[in-house]
Structure 1
């Protein structure tokens, strides 16, 4: 009975921590979006970071939702929506090309300028791109495991992740070069599908190579994420063991 209660307490503590983390992420994006809006609302180009960050956050929130879904048909609906919005997450990295519009070099010294507006724009953009990329990797990893565990899909999570990354690379390509976003699927789906089919019907070798590069790039990011995750888990495991040994020694000394 005591062991069962202990397991329940641990589970409750984990769920509380999870909720707390989710709320922290939501608060982070809420504050970030407010700052992005106030900073870029008069800039036609950089204001895209505000709208694209909103789109990049949607798959993260859908992942939170999928984690708590118990009915399979609801999970299927959530995952389908997640697939539609997922490319927006990594797409945000391609917006870094807009940094070329900045003038980072001093015209006289040819060194990096101390123009505060340039630095503020750089930091704000990175504050949107970096967390979204990390959370995008977490989102794909989590959804793959949800599909395997909750929907009992007989596929290894790693293989499923590889397939999701390939679909993601196609979505990024469509967003960047076909100039469509996820909302077009709902607002004007017929025109969007026609445009996608037309573009892929006439796809050239350079575009195919670019798609492959996008896929390999996403795979590289995911591998890096998995390695960092394993390292953090190992450190956490060692910390738990160390704290457990310390607790045992204290109990022994009291006896």
Structure 2
């Protein structure tokens, strides 16, 4: 699947165009500009947060593209660590579906289209990122070992997704407040709430199955047609 970067580029451009189209639906009315300048409600009404979240979802994918350039194993480990911190931002776009609600004058079907397209784009970025990391890990591990690494990353990503969506932590706070985040994480894991277990189960399964599907596509040889 050498055309994955092209597919992702098309997805991002399409998502950006959809958000711009929705902006015209929301603020194309005579009083649209006045409504847009009435912050802070404007950002939510225009769904501008989806654009920011899409940018954050791009970060782990971009980092996964940089991994092959890391010639030294220690440098690769550092990039991999930062990649893992930002990986939850990709599936995070799926959880933005909780913001789906009527926002007149935009028809609800338009918002459904925008939210689901952004969710799919975030999932695609995450899965492509996992594939890139798996290929990088093949330098030092067997194929079977890399699959176990990916499963572990999917579990950690799901935990980070819970921290971001439910507890409202940001990826960069791992650098700004590392000890606070560590204590909070250990407290959660010592007595995990049912919502955390649901997050871990659902999003680990989603990322795991998605990775398995795309891995199969990337490694399967096209059959030659015979007459």
Q: What interval of TM-score do these two structures reach, taking the shorter chain for normalisation?
A: 0.7 to 0.9
Quick one: which of 171, 175, 180 aligns to 2:160? 171
Q: Give aligned pairs, total.
A: 208
Task: Name the SS of the counterpart of 1:44 in structure 2.
Answer: helix
Shift of 1:85: 0.5
Please report the TM-score for the alignment, with normalisation by the length of structure 2. Answer: 0.73
User: Is 80-89 or 39-48 further displaced after alignment?
Assistant: 39-48
Confirm or deny: 8 A CA contact 1:33 1:53 kept in the other structure: no
Please give the per-residue CA displacement for 1:176-200, whole angstroms capped at 9, x wherever unaligned. Answer: 12211113334xx13x641552464
> Structure 1: how far apart are the matches of 2:7 and 2:184?
42
1:158 counterpart = 2:144: no
1:120 counterpart = 2:110: yes
Confirm or deny: 8 A CA contact 1:85 1:182 kept in the other structure: yes
Please report the TM-score for the alignment, with normalisation by the length of structure 1. Answer: 0.66
Q: Which runs of 5+ in 2 are unaligned?
A: 24-35, 37-41
RMSD across aligned positions (CA) = 3.3
Shift of 1:237: 2.3
> Structure 2: how far apart are the matches of 1:61 and 1:225?
19
1:57 counterpart = 2:58: yes
Instruction: Name the counterpart of 2:9.
Output: 26
Instruction: Name the counterpart of 1:183.
Output: 172
Of structures 1 and 2, the one with the larger relative CO (CA 8 A, separation 6+) is: 2
Instruction: Name the counterpart of 1:214.
Output: 199
Larger radius of gyration: 1
Please give the per-residue CA displacement for 1:214-254, whole angstroms capped at 9, x wherever unaligned. Answer: 2221232234325533664687522xx22xx57xxxxxxxx
Q: Which runs of 5+ in 1 are unaligned?
A: 1-16, 105-114, 247-255
User: Is 219-228 or 176-185 further displaced after alignment?
Assistant: 219-228
Confirm or deny: 8 A CA contact 2:174 2:181 kept in the other structure: no
> Structure 1: how far apart are the matches of 2:206 and 2:94?
12
Higher helix share: 1
